Amino acid sequence: MIEFLIVGLGGFIGCCLRFGISKLSPYNLQFPFPTLLSNIIAGFFVGFITEIEQYSNSITPKTKQFLTTGMMGGLSTFSTFSLETVHMFAQSKYTHAVLNILLNILLSFAGVVLGMLTAKLIFKKQ
């Protein structure tokens, strides 16, 4: 039961972060940059946190659940990305739709890799 509360609290914080990003980011009706930014940031921190586990005992299983499944799960948004892409296809914005798919997948993946490399650089120096 405690794991549900941990993940739920993290998810609440992550959702609030995503909402804040969407409110602070200039929303271009041609392209959903806030969703892309949220997914890249979440990817980076999932990679970073996962890699820190290899070098530090400070990331307990519950901390990882809170940060990755909870916060970063709440911050990233596959469903919003999917809906925005469907809307672009429906509006015949095919180039934007395909670009949205490619950027979300490639940059989120790159974010995870960059997060992992960043953690390696930080923790190998210590």
Helix (H), strand (E), coil (C) string for 50-110:
HHHHHHCCCCCHHHHHHHHHHHHHHHCCHHHHHHHHHHHHHCCCHHHHHHHHHHHHHHHHH
- Predicted confidence band at 25 (pLDDT cuts at 50, 70, 90)? confident
Q: Domains in the chain: how many in total?
A: 1
d(CA 85, CA 104): 11
**Among 1-15, 18-32, 73-87, which stretch is predicted with the lowest mean pLDDT?**
18-32
Do residues 70 and 13 make contact, with C-beta atoms less than 8 angstroms apart? yes
Question: What confidence score (pLDDT) does residue 27 get?
Answer: 63
pLDDT value at residue 58: 83
28 pairs with which residues across the strands?
31
Alpha-carbon torsion angle 75, 88, 90, 102, nearest 10: -80
Which pLDDT does position 126 carry in this prediction?
A: 65
Q: Quote the pTM value.
A: 0.90
Q: At 24, is the pLDDT very low, low, confident or very high (cuts 50, 70, 90)? A: confident
Give me the percent of the chain exceeding a pLDDT of 70.
Answer: 95
Half-sphere exposure at residue 116, Cβ-oriented, CA atoms within 13 angstroms: 11
Asked if residue 29 has pLDDT above 80, the reply is no
For residue 88, what are the domain limits? 2-24+33-124
